[in-house]
Each structure stands twice: as C-alpha cells, then as structure tokens.
Structure 1
Amino acid sequence: MSESKSILFICLGNICRSPMAEAILAHTLKDTSHKVDSCGTASYHRGESPDNRTVSTLWKNGIKTEHKARQLKQSDFEKFDYLLCMDNNNLRNIKDMARRWGVSKDIVDKKVKMFGEWKPKDNNQFGEVVEDPYYGDITDFKTCFDQCSAFCKEFVSREGLL
C-alpha cells in the first residue's frame, strides 16, 4: 500500500454527491490509514446529515454514513492531498475561494481536480461531471451512486491506495 493520503470530496451543499463519494471511498478503504472527508462550497446545510435519499441509497448498498455537512475551509488546502470536485461550478467556486484566501496557484493546480478525471477509460456509461441529484428522484441518486462507485474504484486503482 502507498503512503497515507487524504481525500476531500466537494460539491455545493455537501448533502448529496460529496458525502456519497466520501462514504463509498471510506467503505472501500476501511482498513487503511487514508483520510476521507467531504464538504460543500456553500454553507446552506452546515451541520445537517446527508439527504435521506443519499443515506437510503448508501444503505441499500451496505454502506453507512455519519457525515455532517460542512463548508470548505482555507485549512483544507493544507490538510488534504486531493480536493475532488463534482462539477465545473464547484471547480470555479473552489478556485475563487482559494484566490480570496491567498492559497498559492501551485497548491490549487496540484490538489484541486475534477473527480471525473478518474472516470474509467472503458466506461462510456458516465460523463465526467457528477450531476447533482438533489432536484431529481431516487433513480438520480442511484445513478450518482453508480458513477461515484466507478470513479472511486478507478481512483483507488490509479492512485495505488490499496
């Protein structure tokens, strides 16, 4: 196994996509020293549990979460090796926040990535953007789960985390 890494998943409100990806990766890496967390670029849901549909989808797949939503902090740029965002709006927001906080461009370029960069090469089922299922129904959460699972598996493989 590689040296311990820290991974932060980031979406808008931190109640759907990013806590789902966090729970999937944490479940996959359960007996390792890697750190996995998630947050949002906005503070709408700070302190809340993930959306019930996120929790239900995870539970149906044998994964639990006890996550509480939080907003991205300046210190996250220091604490995490990877800051993985779900869509282009999140990417833009993260870069804007980093610029306001004086985080160096080198750190942002090295650590902030689209989660979709780990889309499996042989998988044409999913695009690189993880769409927000919040305004959809349970099938959108299942799609989000399947996409995050595929990306997490590819991330673990390419980054040598197991």
Structure 2
Amino acid sequence: LCRGEEKSRNICRSPIAEAVFRKLVTDEKVENKWRIDSAATSAYEIGSSPDYRGQACMKKHGITMNHIARQVTKDDFQTFDYILCMDESNLRDLKRKSNQIKDCKAKIELLGSYDPQKQLIIEDPYYGNEKDFETVYEQCVRCCKAFLEKSH
C-alpha cells in the first residue's frame, strides 16, 4: 500500500502481494477459502492498472496480475478478517480509519510482521528500478507464505 507520509496508491506493492497470495492459495488448492483483494488508503490512482514494472516482475515469475486500483472502504473493515499493509504510515492510516468503523472485524497488521527474515517494512519501489520491484516480490513471497502457514 507508499513511502514516508505519502498515501498508498495501490499500483505497486499491494497488487504484487495480492497476486503472490492468490498464486500461493491456488497452488495449495485452498483458494475457495479466501477472498483476496488489495486497496489503497488514498484515492490517488483509483482505476489505474498496476505499475508496468511490477507487471513485468510478476510476468517473469509466471504470476498473473488482474487488478484495478481502488480505495479501502468501510465495508472492507467489516468483512475482511485481515488487512495487511506495507509500512507504518499506512498502518497508522488504516488503524485511524478502523476506529471510525462501528463493527470493525479486520485485524490490521504489517505484512512484514510475518517475514522470517524480519524485514518489517516493504518499501515502495515506485521511485526505484526493476531491482526494487524484485525485492518487493521476494518480501511478499516470504511474508505471504508465512502468513498462509499461520492462518490455517
């Protein structure tokens, strides 16, 4: 979900995490147990496709990306069991928003909190290069695998 105090755009990190997790649950044949989506804390890129560099990275790893950017909704806090975010700024935004939701069911956490290599923050690769997108991909794979093992 972006660096520093910028709001998340839902075109870099979260669509990569969404696609990685979708592939993991499909490979494990448990996709029917999961509703998987990604969203931004801001309205900045609503309707946009994922960043072309992220798409290229995922294609290289044989993972399909079908995502159009959207913003987190009130309903998300009420229907999802988990909302996993990428950095402290997004964590603060999401927790603040969740406090305004009467019956918030979602557990809000950093995806990086599941990383066996203890890389807590998944940095926004938007201003970086292909190597930065690869790093995000690798972090997402590690974290999503660990999350999936823990959650069922």
- SS of alignment partner, residue 130 of structure 1: coil
Match in the other structure for 2:5: none
1:62-99: per-residue Cα shift (whole Å, max 9, x none)?
Answer: 00111000001011011101000100000111122223
SS in 1 for 2:77: helix
For 1:159 and 1:61, the matched residues in 2 are separated by 25
Map Cα deviations across residues 4-61 of structure 1 (whole Å, 9 max, x no partner): xxxxxx4610000000000000011123211110000011110111000111101100
2:74 corresponds to: 74
Counterpart for residue 28 of structure 1: 24
Distance 1:27 1:127 in 2: 22
Partner-residue secondary structure (3-state), 2:38: strand
Instruction: Give 1:133's aligned residue.
Output: 125
Contact 2:84 2:110 in 1 (8 A): yes
Structure 1, unpaired ranges of 5+: 1-9
- Root-mean-square deviation (CA, aligned residues, Å) is 1.6
Q: Secondary structure at the match of 1:40?
A: coil
- 1:149 matched to 2:141: yes
Aligned to 2:43: 43
Return the letter of the residue paired with 1:159.
Answer: S
Runs of 4+ with deviation above 3 angstroms: none
Shift of 1:145: 0.4
Hey, what does 1:103 align to over in structure 2? 101
Aligned-residue sequence identity (percent) comes to 40
Equivalenced residues, count:
143
In 2, Cα distance between equivalents of 1:107 and 1:98? 6
From the two aligned structures, give the one with the greater strand fraction.
1
Contiguous gaps of at least 5 residues in structure 2: 3-7
SS of aligned partner of 1:151: helix
Contact 2:98 2:104 in 1 (8 A): no
Alignment TM-score, normalising by the size of structure 2 = 0.88
State the AA in 2 paired with 1:152.
C
Structure 2 CA distance, aligned partners of 1:47 and 1:134? 17
